[in-house]
Structure 1
Amino acid sequence: MYTYEYKTLHELVALAGKHHLSLSEIVVRHEMETSEQTEEKVRGVMASRLQVFHESIEAGLQDQGKSVSGLVGGDAYKMLQSPAKLLGSLSRKAAIYALAVSEANAKMFKIVACPTAGSCGIVPAVMTAVAEEIGTDQKVSVNALFTAAGIGAVVSRNASVAGAVGGCQAECGTAAAMAAAAAAEMAGGTNDEIINAFALCMKNTLGLACDPVAGLVEVPCVKRNACYAVMAVSAAEMALAGIRSVIPPDEVIEAMAEIGRIMPVALKETSDGGLARTATGKAIAARLEQDMQE
């Protein structure tokens, strides 16, 4: 039994209260215990993940080419060059950066899957946008990423982060909720506000289908990352304003797990339902299959 072990978000918050520490400090200490590494080593590894976040955003913005399928690519740059019309600066950056990382993933660039490749753009985008907008330093970002990771680990333990198991609520839903928690922490939120940012975001992704066209992590995945990055910012803003989730965070996770269990297999990364089975979706799949045979 580890001193800083937690299996639920309630336990994570309780440990933080018991030891008068932040959520991120509990996650760091738990990682030190389980990995038997020094704090310097543990924090250094997480800092390297942040660096890949930034590199992936830059690569996605610079490379305007298409993926091998031709389905995605260049939209992050297109949005970057387009004058702002509706979104505020932070949300707009989050959407652009999420597109950039997701496009980089589709083109097989180096990314950090957090928690999955299909949802890889959300956490990097939100955290980078928040850091740029409110001027936080690397230490703050590293701490927030530990918090997001600790929360993601709880979701993975008690539900799933795999689209094949729980639909896209498990992938983009978890990523957005992790990002909301990270954003709330970076903005100076309390432990309670951070956890509620997670819950407010997660419960509004419940039931999201995983329906990739032609079985590729491209359509609708790339643009879905951008939309859910903005949702993460909205959830964090609500939590920081004192808005609380009526359903406790751990119960939201339980609900996600239950929905995943009863969700039809056709909506869990099989490409047998949803957008993948539209006329256009089927035509794209047929075209790509033909291309592979030639």
Structure 2
Amino acid sequence: MREATVRCANPQGLHRIAYTEWGDPHNPDVLVCVHGLTRNGRDFDDLAEALSSDYRVICPDVVGRGRSEWLPAKSAYGLPQYVSDMMVLLARSRVESVHWLGTSMGGLIGMLIASQPDSPITRLVLNDVGPVITAASLRRIGDYVGRAPVFPDFAAAETYIRAVSAPFGPLTDEQWRRMTQTSVRAGAGGGFEMRYDPGIGDVFRSAPVLNDVDLWPIYDAIRCPTLALRGESSDLLTPETHREMGRRGPQAKLMEVPGVGHAPMLMDSAQIALVRDFLLSA
């Protein structure tokens, strides 16, 4: 694993986003893995290691998360900024095309890029996200994003992460521990704090969420082969939307992960195999 940063622009100035990279740095086959709303690129350590013999795997920390810098204006946190940053990162990769795996928010970023003419994404994995984002799931996310306390010790941080991340499904004690290690950092006044900008939550609470978000026109414009993974108990990607994704647009290959809500973490061998088999089936 290698760590690096790349400089990007925002309406108020410049910021750096961090990323980890796995595999041969000269491999022309690149897989970009992008995380969910409050997560970071280290979520993909197991998958990236498993696929590093086939791909150069790039796992960014979206701005405001992980090791990436925070935006001065919290209102700038949103898909336009994220897409802009990811295009800078793709330019840094120095390849004409990439495969893309996106969990939740990372999938929305991938959808937006893949829907464009002359898109660099030639194969797309959407992990528990689709063209309809339910209002209920958005309200649930808004209830906790940016409201995490400062934890007195690491054990308290792990207890919190296990609680808010319960929909991820059954993980081993070692996996929960590793996820906590990459999710928190030492606080300035002692203890531990989450490794993301609390201001991300401001966008969710700036106005009441009354309706589902409809992105079908974007999904319908996607032309590359697509895999749509769904957690069996997901409240963000409904069974109805998932089935429709197999009929419309890229007519995604549909797969469901049992015993998981939002979203499969792609840490165990069975989930990794679903992704590997699709990506390497071309």
Q: Give the structure with the larger helix fraction.
A: 1
Q: Give the structure with the larger strand fraction.
A: 2
TM-score (norm 1): 0.24
TM-score (norm 2): 0.25
